Amino acid sequence: MIKSKNYTMSFTAASLMKPESRALAHAYAQNQCWPDVERLVLQENILGTRTVSSAKRLYRELKMRLQRLNNKTLSYLANEATDEEQNQILWYSICETYPFIKDFAVEVLHENVSALKFSIKNEDYDRFFNKKAQWHSELDSLSESSEQKIRQVIFRMLREAGFTDKEGNLYTVNVSKRVLEALDTESGILAEILPTVAKGRLT
């Protein structure tokens, strides 16, 4: 069996975190310097955390995601993006940061919609996880509580992004031309990770 590259699971430290991510994007758009942004996080508590240690942990996680975006996208996220466009941009950054979530988005989220199955249930996730665990020993060795935490965070991200409701019903989205221009990417890339009915459909 060919060993696959290990999945990183640090995303359990934060869900979508849209207000916090936008605050960091705004700070970066103004300063163009991550060390300056970190100083704002620690001195002015722009992430709204209760402790310095929490601020540092959250900053590291969100910075890692936002660094997947170019300066144009960060500026658009901070200043112009609609609520739905923010969801699309942040989901893209998360998928680019975490291959496990990207695989889930392609193989479960988008495939369910493509098959006109407008829901995501625990069993959908469990089938996906078990399939990946056959190739990824780091998944197979997780405790039951860690498995549940990973699923909880991913499902929470889906709800916060407006892709699902609490019952797991799926809502389709259209890929924004403005988002594509900001990301400087092709429509097919976003269509594969978003719950779109028509591949590459733009608004």
Is the confidence at residue 89, as pLDDT, over 70? yes
Is the confidence at residue 98, as pLDDT, over 90? yes
> pLDDT at position 202, please?
41
CA angle 164, 169, 173 (to 5 degrees): 50
> What CA–CA distance (Å, rounded) separates 82 from 72?
15
Looking at residue 13, what DSSP letter applies? Answer: G
Residue range 16-67, pLDDT digits in tens? 999 999 999 999 999 999 999 999 999 999 999 999 999 999 999 999 999 9
How high does pLDDT run on average in the chain?
91
Confidence of residue 4 (pLDDT cuts 50, 70, 90): low
Tokens representing 4 are 């696959």
> pLDDT at position 60, please?
96
Q: What is the identity of the amino acid at 203?
A: T
Taken in order 138, 14, 77, 90, the sign of the CA dihedral is: positive
Residue range 142-159, pLDDT digits in tens? 999 999 999 999 999 999
Exposed/middle/buried for 177, CB within 10 Å: 0-12, 13-18, 19+?
A: exposed
> pLDDT at position 140, please?
86
Percentage of the chain exceeding pLDDT 70? 93
Is the confidence at residue 203, as pLDDT, over 60? no
Residue range 161-191, pLDDT digits in tens? 999 999 999 999 988 788 888 887 755 778 8
> pLDDT at position 141, please?
87
**20, 58 Cβ separation under 8 angstroms:** yes
Tokens representing 50 are 């209760």
